[in-house]
Structure 1
Amino acid sequence: MSESKPPPPGIYVPAVLFFKKNEDIDEEATKMHVLRLAQGSVTGILVQGSNGEAQHLSSDERKRVIRLTRATLDAHGFQHVTVIAGTGAQSTRETKQLNIDAKEAGASHALILTPSTWKASMTKDLILRFFREVADASPIPIVVYNFPKVTAGLDLDADTIAALGTHPNIVGTKLSCGHLGKLTRLVTSLPPDSFAPFIGRSDSFLPALAVSGPGGIMALANVAPRAHRALWDAWHDRRIDDARNIQRMLAHGDAILSKYGGISFTKALVARDFGYGGATVRGPLATTSVDQLSSTDADILDELIAFERSL
């Protein structure tokens, strides 16, 4: 195993995966989405994060989508865009195999959730053992995915994540908990060249940068990748008022995505405003529509989309 490095600092998208109405993978819409994200100047694409419905895919489908993403990027001159694959499973054994599959399919890093089926048994020692065993066996560096909403409430604290970060093949975390105190402690506890703590929510993007976070892996970037890049550029150019104004739009947009159905609503919004894909999700999730938007929320999203189109 070569020396493990974190994903580069920047903006990552936990990409949605488009399905046809019969729930088959829509490859053409997915390729169009990957290309639009890359053209929006994102640093990397997370395939099969929570927004990519990883738990709804077979192992063969997982490999197929990783290959499709990497091939689409390479074919259009975006070889520099990083591909991270979500590989978490409920057993150590399966997670190890998914990491092997991810590398073979073209991913450079693996993002791994804490197993949560047996929540009552998941002590700190068992969680540490799981991630370390997986990291020992993984052919690619791993990023610890902390998202209590999808792990039955299991929420890793900064001390646990920092302990994992001393492993040579554990190179970062995605904090979808959005906890800025936790992010700050990790930024100031581990060297940035070996461990990258990414914020996992657009509503915390600017505050994360303000405490020297390396960037974010954020669902709203499916809709507005250029807006996220504009905030990044404004912050690093010290145009603080511009950065704050963009953060205002992202914070409201992030809340609206969650309010109206998350994954399916994100797809519906992309389909409406960018002309590809559809809102279909695999069951048991429910397909939603942009038609349910209140006039106030519609106005907020219209402002964000207009800003995105202006960039």
Structure 2
Amino acid sequence: MSKFLGTGVALVTPFREDLSVDVEALANIVNHVIEGGVEYLVVLGTTAESATLTQEEKQVVKKTVATANKGRVPMVVGVGGNNTAAIVEELQTTDLSAFDAILSVSPYYNKPTQEGIYQHFKAIAQVSPLPIILYNVPGRTGSNVLPKTIIRLAKDFKNIIGVKEAAGDIVQAMRLIKDKPKDFLVISGDDMITLPMVLVGGAGVISVIGQGFPKKFSSMVRYALRGNLDDANHLHFQLMDIIDYIFEEGNPAGIKAVFESLGLCSGNVRLPLVPASNGLKEKISSFAALEVNKING
């Protein structure tokens, strides 16, 4: 699945002051990231605050992104949760024809065993009309999908094509890359360790910071995929501070503060999240201003 090599971005959902979905800002962000060189878009992931969107709003987000994209890059849509039967029903009743794959998070809160996780994704794989990218993010779900479980799923179901690995554990990622089937994609879900993951055989990243500074971040990933370590390191080191900043007070408050400083959308988020503090906004704005000056100057 070469269309998912490189940089995908987990798009935010911009909100107006009344916290309604800002479709104009969302379309502008889509253009911003595509023109910046990202390889694909991820819609309705965690960064999109999908947990606080109604079904109607999710349809608006999907339509807005698809219309703005105009078929320029592949699109992945988040379809996941902790009720297996509900996800199966959603996959059987939802029109997903605009998308190229689904991203499905490991069940959260329930804390299933590894066998329970396997059976959950087995049920999804048996009905999904699209290829599946698993999403392992223990910090949010409360359970870690171990490499042996991911590899078992990859071998048993041809439509499970990859995993967004966001455990933040480079050793776990290396074990997964070492033992995976040849064409299975191990995609970083952690911006800060994307470079080392790619250098040991990862397929790229589904990124948060990549939507704020798409040209620089996607170039870093492409350099890494080609083995150009000097140029990849150069860009990675330039981005390390802003990666720290955007996660300092949680996602997506940080990346929305980046967009606010770039004039692309407001920093508004929905409760229980709160916007970035003024102190954090100042650090982010200073970094963004320097980047804009480099581009213009």
| TM-score for both structures, normalised by structure 1 | 0.87
2:191 and 2:17 map into 1 onto residues whose CA distance is 29
Tell whether 2:212 aligns with 1:243: no
Contact 1:176 / 1:200 at 8 angstroms: preserved in 2? Answer: yes
Shift of 1:103: 4.6
Aligned counterpart for 2:177 among listed residues 170, 178, 187: 187
Q: What is the identity, as a one-letter code, of the residue corresponding to 1:132?
A: K
Aligned counterpart for 1:91 among listed residues 45, 65, 83: 83
2:210 and 2:169 map into 1 onto residues whose CA distance is 19
1:86-133 residue CA offsets vs partner (Å, 9 max, x unmatched):
1112211221233346653612111111112322xx111111000110
Aligned pairs, number? 296
1:228-249 residue CA offsets vs partner (Å, 9 max, x unmatched):
1221343355542221121112
Q: What is the identity, as a one-letter code, of the residue corresponding to 1:54?
A: S
* Structure 2 unaligned spans of 5+: none
Contact 1:18 / 1:280 at 8 angstroms: preserved in 2? Answer: yes
1:99 and 1:210 map into 2 onto residues whose CA distance is 35
Aligned to 2:272: 284
Aligned counterpart for 1:114 among listed residues 94, 98, 106: 106
SS of residue paired to 1:262: coil
Bigger mean CA offset, 195-204 vs 104-113: 104-113
Shift of 1:213: 0.9
Shift of 1:222: 1.8
1:233 and 1:70 map into 2 onto residues whose CA distance is 25
Contact 1:64 / 1:105 at 8 angstroms: preserved in 2? Answer: no
Tell whether 2:233 aligns with 1:267: no
Q: 1:68 to 1:97 in 2, by over 3 A?
A: farther
Shift of 1:186: 2.4
Contact 2:261 / 2:288 at 8 angstroms: preserved in 1? Answer: no
1:1-311 matches, cutoff 5 A: 5=1, 7-74=3-70, 79-100=71-92, 103-104=95-96, 106-119=98-111, 122-151=112-141, 153-166=142-155, 167-193=157-183, 195-236=184-225, 238-273=227-262, 275-289=263-277, 291-293=278-280, 302-304=289-291, 306=293, 309=295
SS of residue paired to 1:235: helix
Contact 1:203 / 1:252 at 8 angstroms: preserved in 2? Answer: no
Q: What is the identity, as a one-letter code, of the residue corresponding to 1:127?
A: I
SS of residue paired to 2:202: coil
1:261 and 1:245 map into 2 onto residues whose CA distance is 26
Q: 1:20 to 1:105 in 2, by over 3 A?
A: farther
Shift of 1:306: 4.8
Shift of 1:160: 1.2
1:132-182 residue CA offsets vs partner (Å, 9 max, x unmatched):
10110111111110111211x211111111111111121110012232222
Contact 2:81 / 2:108 at 8 angstroms: preserved in 1? Answer: no
Question: RMSD of the alignment, in Å?
Answer: 2.3
Shift of 1:6: 7.0
Shift of 1:216: 0.5
Q: 1:126 to 1:233 in 2, by over 3 A?
A: closer
Q: Alignment identity in percent?
A: 24
Contact 1:6 / 1:196 at 8 angstroms: preserved in 2? Answer: no
* Structure 1 unaligned spans of 5+: none
